[in-house]
Structure 1
Amino acid sequence: MGITSLLGSNMLPEKYRTMKRSEMEQRILEIKETLGDQLFIPGHHYQKDEVIQFADSIGDSLQLARVAAANKKAQHIVFCGVHFMAETADMLTTDDQIVYLPDMRAGCSMADMADIYQTEEAWIELQKLLGDTIIPLTYVNSTAAIKAFTGRNGGACVTSSNAKKMVKWAYTQKERLFFLPDQHLGRNTAYELGIPLEQMAVWNPMKGELEYEGNLADLRVILWKGHCSVHQGFTVSNIKNVRERYPQMTIIVHPECCREVVEASDLNGSTKYIVDTVNSAPAGSSFAIGTEMNLVKRIIADHPDKQIISLNENMCPCLTMNRIDLPHLLWALEMITEDVPGNIIKVAPEVTKEAKLSLDRMLALA
């Protein structure tokens, strides 16, 4: 919703499929040197090593949102992440800056679980049930249209880094919270702030109904029925297996994991929190990490003095993040040097205006 992509072809030209890795890497380095400050490449932690090596800034969603907002020099921003991140970058940069997504298929299944039409319908029904007592919060892992919905209804964006701060803020505005699209981050955050599970409901967009058995007067949190396919793959059974094999190992997970997994782990926090925790741990420390596999493998490689495993060693990397690879990155960069408009992410002005309200409220507090 609200996005116009110019020549957003998914058809990678054949020449990039046959180039040697060394040739592609050399060409990318040459383009970076040629464009200088006119080019900026932000990269999310979950990206492949072959791509992240060229990133000018590496971080989680909040870090990259800040970087995008602060960068005023680069005319070309090639975002190595997924579509909602590129949308956010476009909305936070100037009209003269252009944001590209190397592979237009790099989406996010969680973001796609919150459809704007279903969201508008849910809002109408919730207002009928509960009146003007609700404020919406949306995880940044959402479409520009959902961010705009949140902005025009007085709400804000959140990330896993600042979710507690933003939920506390939300309760200074309204009595109840409508959290989308990730039910697990919303549930875990609210619970850790002292709200009992009995005061949380789930909105089922497929059925168009509120799943709640309690008294409506007691309801404090409405959670959209969405999830991260990667983090939902970690289970209590995984934790039990690690406890049995490595009794002294610290289990640290992302709050996109389900409530039972977060409760059974030792620590939980954002991608940045996980990285910082391992970085600051003394040599000889041991961790089982419940988050995306590309990042876990990178953490393992960066810390040979520590024992680190994935909480679920059979997990796959985030498939949509993995769509960004070396051939697509080079293709995007060469289109820039050849002045061929392609793979551009552009959010419509009317959507940007409302979505920025929710982004700016987050950034002002974060």
Structure 2
Amino acid sequence: MSKPLSGKVCIVTGATRGIGKGIALQLGEAGATVYITGRTLTSPKDDPVGGSLTETAKEIETRGGKCIPVQCDHSKDSDVEELFSRVAKEQDGRLDVLVNNAYSAVKALSDNFNKPFWEQPITMWDTVNNVGLRNHYICSVHAARLMTAWKSGLIVNILSAAGLKYTFNVPYGIGKEANDRMAADCAVELRKMNVAFISLWPGLVRTEQVLHLLTTKGDETISTSEETMKLDPSMFENAETTEYSGKAIVALATDSNIMKKSGRVFFTADLGYEYGFKDINGKEPVNPRQLNNALQFFPKTKWMANYMPNFVYIPKWLMAAAGNKF
């Protein structure tokens, strides 16, 4: 079996479960040595979702990959510095791929659904953006120091379309848009060093957390703008698995023309079409740019989805205009 990333060194932050775990699994399966991070090596007994660094590492090794789990609290700069120092020491200064995926605000977002920002704890900003934004920058700084020395590398921020339009709450959307801007601006300075920086937007993903919410809060209403949506199981029938993003990153990391993509935003589904890969279940997940898919998110337009063919896509320029401030 071909190992396109054989000899490569990767870091995936926040890889105990969800998209981070899926990415780590695919990178390991592709032959890379994968360092994965999380706050604990084992899952707390009271965690209903489960997942741990140890479990992720074992699954990567079962697939024939090499994984090095590192306990790291990404809210602590010292832990992050120790992580990159360890990688540099153990891999002779080499780092080929960094995936910024660590996030620590899922519970806080869930606990504060539909509350305006002035009624939420003042700590919400740090809860959402310390690990989810500031840490991404710090990790990128450390990664860039290693990659620029080799004049090669790829940094990926795992984000979403929430940077375009109000979603969940104020700090959440600000953090997502700032991360996209981080990729764009860092790419300008990294280009001459042959290091790429990309924003990756997965679509709907059947993470462990989502599956748990669907079974426990299936009738809960979530605010996304002036409208609301429910956690509807049918919306996730053709959603991505957690490993689809990993397939996208493997494709990016093996693209000899990756610098042409640096500084830009890419949907996982668009990359699937471009590079010709499908999800691990053999399916092509729904693309967020498919108009009929987008219409299903809101009660006032959901009925229109049934009359819209699959081949009608929202142009990227129109999506960008949704976030226009002028």
By relative contact order (CA 8 Å, sep 6+), the higher-ranking structure is 1
Q: Which has the larger radius of gyration?
A: 1
- TM-score, normalised with respect to structure 1: 0.26
The answer to which structure has the higher strand fraction is 1
TM-score by length of 2: 0.29
